[in-house]
């Protein structure tokens, strides 16, 4: 007796015959190895290298020379600093989302008023998740022009990465500079607090 299979029946038998093959392949698709390969680079990175650029301005809390942007009513009052562009670079090492330790350098260039630029190398504390990073830095600061002086710098901020390694950053920076004396004091101190916003690029170095 000859059995004739209609096209629909043949398709049903073929699908049943191949069911074991699909069942064997399913565990491989959901294996831990496949999931590990899909993990973001930040999870496995040993180090991160960063470049940043920002614009900002600040407030000076001691103005004995009565600079033009006066906000206070006395020499010890508040004045606005010149707007500036900040260029930064740094690296930090450590794996995963834990705090990473490293070094950084930032140089700021005035874009109004007297030509002036300053640099601050320092220690960097950095923590990165998939979309956010927080950081803090501390170190000495040196003003090169118009006259050399020195002090210290402390900064803290955060960055948001909507495009993987490219993010938006904001930072609050505090400085204490020592400068030329006046008739009241032989060595004046100039506290400055600044805020800056800009762009940052972070490159994760994989093992």
Question: 146 CB contacts (<8 Å, ≥6 apart)?
Answer: 114, 115, 116
Predicted pLDDT at 169: 97
Residue 174: other Cβ atoms inside 10 A: 15
CA–CA gap between residue 184 and residue 179 (Å, rounded): 13
CB-facing half-sphere around the CA of 31: CA atoms within 13 A: 9
Question: 164 CB contacts (<8 Å, ≥6 apart)?
Answer: none
Q: Provide the residue-wise pLDDT of the chain in tens; the chain has 207 residues.
A: 444 444 434 343 344 443 444 344 444 444 443 333 333 445 566 889 999 999 999 988 876 554 555 455 555 567 888 899 999 999 999 876 788 999 999 999 999 888 889 999 999 999 988 899 999 999 999 998 878 889 999 999 999 999 889 999 999 999 998 876 556 655 678 889 999 999 999 998 876
The CATH number of the structural domain formed by 41-205 is: 2.40.160.20
**Domain boundaries, given as residue ranges, for the chain:** 7-37, 41-205
pLDDT in tens, 115-160: 889 999 999 999 988 899 999 999 999 998 878 889 999 999 999 9
Predicted pLDDT at 74: 55
Using omega within 30 degrees of 0 as the cis cutoff, is the peptide bond preceding 146 cis?
yes
Give the tokens for residue 99: 């705090």
């Amino acid at each position: 007796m000859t059995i004739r299979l209609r096209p629909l029946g043949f398709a049903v038998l073929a699908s049943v015959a191949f069911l074991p093959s699909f069942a064997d392949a399913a565990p491989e698709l959901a294996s831990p190895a496949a999931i590990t390969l899909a993990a973001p680079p930040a999870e496995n990175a040993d180090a991160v290298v960063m470049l940043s650029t920002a614009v900002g301005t600040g407030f000076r809390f001691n103005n004995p020379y009565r600079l033009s942007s006066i906000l206070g009513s006395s020499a010890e009052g508040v004045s606005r600093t010149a707007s500036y562009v900040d260029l930064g670079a740094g690296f930090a090492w450590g794996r995963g989302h834990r705090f990473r330790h490293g070094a950084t350098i930032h140089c700021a260039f005035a874009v109004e008023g007297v030509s002036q630029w300053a640099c601050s190398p320092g220690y960097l504390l950095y923590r990165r998740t998939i979309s956010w990073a927080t950081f803090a830095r501390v170190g000495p600061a040196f003003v090169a022009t118009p006259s050399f002086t020195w002090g210290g710098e402390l900064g803290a901020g955060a960055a948001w990465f909507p495009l993987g390694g490219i993010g938006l950053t904001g930072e609050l920076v505090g400085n204490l500079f020592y400068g030329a004396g006046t008739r009241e004091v032989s060595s004046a101190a100039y506290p400055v607090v600044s805020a800056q916003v800009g762009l940052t690029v972070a490159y994760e170095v994989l093992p």
